[in-house]
Structure 1
């Protein structure tokens, strides 16, 4: 009798699913360029105003406490005086961008479109001010010293004023900006010469001024 040969069982191989290959996605990072120019001295002046206000309040309260005259009414009075001092010392924050200039104070924010300026004039009063008004009726006042200390702010203003003049909008005040710019350039050059010591050096062949 022949021997039965059993057919071999084929081993089942578990198919391992290969992980799907996920194509690499390139992530594009868009860098946002900030085009706003800010007064670089504003933060320092704000700290100085807060420091002066705090020192005044601490001084008067300490004197009252030492004299045993500190009462809730006097504390409220000194608080009001300190807040009034801070309101006087609080520096306005001047910012500018392409086609606009803004001034933010305790009373809120005001801005003008420098591309639409219709008038630029000097403000009346003991404190020098530059008054800007645009075709939309907006109006701001800027301290010229801020423009002197921040050439980028001055550049924003002059660029917008040049466009307004090209559009035929800026009828009055172009000479004010020009004179202010020339004076700033002279003061800046004088400051550089004084810092370098060249302003005190007399020309060759001339005696020094007495």
Structure 2
């Protein structure tokens, strides 16, 4: 019998962003609310036509495409980033570079020895300790094997950030903040 993604046999080997489903639902809701409001306003004004309805539907679809979250999954030795039209996979046990890109939105760039590259929001790793643990373990393997030539400092900084956020969450939940 073939195993499918997310089966009980995969438990413990594959981790993913635990907030992805909620973020996807939020993107759908936002697009639906925008479409509903635009159609309602147009209908109320008596200017709703098929062409205007198609325009509002296109705008709602574009909003969904902008808000649709990437799906991050990781297993032993790999990490994937899946968008609507593209899936990128990097071998986390063969990393050659880990760096952060600062800007409007900070990004973490992982490159492997096979030339593959994945960009993701470092906040995603901070918010998902199991995902961070999987990536961190494999990055340490890359470091031990000598393939990780650039990025040990970035990993240490991210590790400190994850530990700080985890400790703050524990304090907050226990009422010690």
TM normalised by structure 2 equals 0.90
Gaps of 5+ in 2: 1-6
Describe the superposition over 1:104-123 as per-residue Cα deviations: whole angstroms up to 9, x where unpaired.
01231001000110000002
Corresponding residue of 2:3:
none
After TM superposition, the structure 1 = structure 2 runs for residues 75-114 of structure 1, keeping only pairs within 5 Å, are 75-114=53-92
Q: Which 5+ residue runs of structure 1 have no aligned equivalent?
A: 1-30, 200-210
Q: Larger % of helix: which? A: 2
Answer yes or no: is 1:68 the counterpart of 2:46: yes
Q: Deviations over 1:80-134 (max 9, x none)?
A: 1111110111010000001000000123100100011000000242101100000
Asked which structure has the greater CA Rg, the reply is 1
Decide which of 151, 154, 161 is 2:132's aligned counterpart. 154
Equivalent of residue 144 in structure 1, options 118, 122, 141: 122
Q: Which has the larger displacement, 87-96 or 146-155?
A: 146-155
Which residue of 2 is the match for residue 25 of structure 1? none
1:41 aligns to 2:32 (yes or no)? no
- 1:191 is displaced (CA, Å) by 2.8
Change (3 A) 1:183 1:80: same
SS at match of 2:104: coil
1:139 Cα deviation from its structure 2 partner: 0.5
User: For 1:164 and 1:33, how far apart are their aligned partners in 2?
Assistant: 26
1:55 Cα deviation after fit: 0.8
Q: Size of the alignment, in residue pairs?
A: 169
Q: Scaled by the length of structure 1, what TM-score is found?
A: 0.76
Shift of 1:32: 6.5
Across the aligned residues of Structure 1 and Structure 2, the Cα RMSD in angstroms comes to 1.5
CA distance in 1, matches of 2:8, 2:69: 29
* 1:122 equivalent in alignment to 2:69: no
Inter-partner Cα distance in structure 2 for 1:129 and 1:70:
42
Q: Is the 8 A contact 2:126 2:165 kept in 1?
A: no
